[in-house]
Amino acid sequence: MQTMVISGYRSFELGVFQEKDPKVKVIKKVLKITIQQYIEEGLEWILIGGNLGTEIWAGQVVLDLQKEYPELKLGIIFPFEDFGENWNEKNQQVLTELKIKANYVNAVSHVPYQNPGQLKNHSQFLLTHSGGLLVVYDDEYPGKTQFLLKEAQEHASKNDFIIHQITMDDLQNTFFEDDSV
């Protein structure tokens, strides 16, 4: 697999409102370990949609990993034009820094948000332009990512597509196994 989409919980779904929250460190560590495994198998591109939470953290992890794996590329594909413009200044700054450092930035829809169809088109675009989905999501704790995961499962039933799901148990195990987290 050369290209993988990463998604998962939004920060507010996890009750994370500061970058210093210990949950962020655990999620980033699990993402880093998992991404490294896929790099060893030939992964070249990570695609994210730019949502606050797992996607932004994944983007930050990729930028960090590029020091060790310069061949790894980050693509940010927004669902629509002006994505994130209604966020607070701090969150907009985090997104802007990521956009500046990403290897590729674009939007599926080149107009501002108009309807939910833009979000569905975005999901379909990401799934058809990748070989897998790495998702931080647990079915026992529903969140917005359930829609992308459902579409990915349908896509995987008809295509050669990998879904790697990181659950709450996986995160908890990493937290308890590693003192450096």
Predicted pLDDT at 160: 96
Predicted pLDDT at 43: 98
Instruction: Tell me the two tokens of residue 45.
Output: 């591109």
Predicted pLDDT at 179: 54
Residue 47 has pLDDT above 80, yes or no: yes
> Whole-model pTM?
0.94
Predicted pLDDT at 19: 86
Integer Cα distance of 26 and 174 in angstroms? 7
User: What is the pLDDT of the chain when averaged over all its residues?
Assistant: 95
Instruction: Assign a CATH topology to domain 3-141+152-177.
Output: Rossmann fold (3.40.50)
Q: Residue 46: exposed, middle, or buried by beta-carbon count in 10 A (0-12, 13-18, 19+)?
A: buried
Domain boundaries, the chain: 3-141+152-177
